[in-house]
Amino acid sequence: MKKFAIAVHGGCGSQDKNMSEVEKQALHELMTQVVNAGKKILERGGSAVDAVEASVMVMENDPIFNAGRGGTYNSLGEIELDASIMNGKNFACGAVAGVRTVANPVKLARAVMEQSKNVFLICGGAERFAEELGFTKMLPDYFHTESRYKRYLAALAEEEAAKSLPELKKGTVGAVALDCNGDLAAATSTGGILMKKYGRVGDTPIIGAGTYADNRTCAVSCTGTGEEFIRYNVARDVSNKMEYLGYDIFNATDAVINPERGKLQPDDGGLVAVDRFGNVAWQCTCDTLLRGTADSDGRFETGIWTEGEPQFYQKANGNEIEK
């Protein structure tokens, strides 16, 4: 079997350190489903683009994630969604921002990449393009989740107090993959930050900031404070350090994300990445990064914390082993 690898993330800095063991296990099982959605495609010889789209769509469809159906509310009480996808084989890419009626923004981003001459469509234009392609138009109720709406109301009542809630800090989902043909791909999707200014766009749909893929180096998907990832072109910077400085993927991600080496600060966010050899790396300045990894060598891991225990659970012969 030729080598393949996939890594996914469900956002950083948004998990409660005091969660119960049952809640932790539920998150590991959820991330297992997300990883498997892409892994099954790669095992069959499918493309990296198909794999990252499939894994991201699982998260967009689950209201626990701040993407798609679980998108958070902006300052006007509306849900605006962003997404992007990139093919490292030919640098094809597509992105959408500020969409309100599309269940799976990552699918629309791929349509922009493959069925238009453009790279980036926003708001009403992106939604009209979706309608032309036959996408089902979703009503606002589809995206409404009671837990996020309660936090929105709390933020309206007392914004500073609401910021202390773990779920409000960060939230973006993404996936990166290497397929058996040696092609890399990355995809990212988000509902943005709670109480964001109407019309605000973060790094997620910006190629090079929140998403990047290049067969010569790596594929990267980011999560965190979008403004910082835009300023420092984080996803592309990882690739640049590999291409121009000869860094491996582990040193490159650390050089970009580690506050002691790069420009990001504690709690700014993190990323997952995979290189052309199937090596997977993740780096984060937050306490938590919900993530998962699988490859053709049998590795299968999911994680929540960036330090401390438990850090990973590995599935071996169907049994979960805490490392």
Catalytic residue annotation = 172
| Alpha carbons 71 and 110: distance in angstroms, whole number | 19
Q: Which of 262, 258, 261 is nearest to 281 (CA)?
A: 258
Half-sphere CA count of 156, side-chain side, radius 13 A: 11
- Characterise 45 by phi-psi region: left (phi > 0), alpha (psi -120 to 50), beta (else): left
CA separation, residue 7 to residues 172, 186, 313 (Å):
14, 10, 14
Residue type, 128: R
| Alpha carbons 192 and 248: distance in angstroms, whole number | 31
Q: Which of 7, 6, 13 is nearest to 305 (CA)?
A: 13
Q: What residues contact residue 227 under an 8 Å CB cut-off, 6+ apart?
A: 202, 203
* DSSP-assigned letter for residue 135: P
CA 178 to chain centre: 16
Residues 119 and 112 sit within 8 Å (Cβ to Cβ): yes
Q: Which of 171, 162, 190 is nearest to 286 (CA)?
A: 171
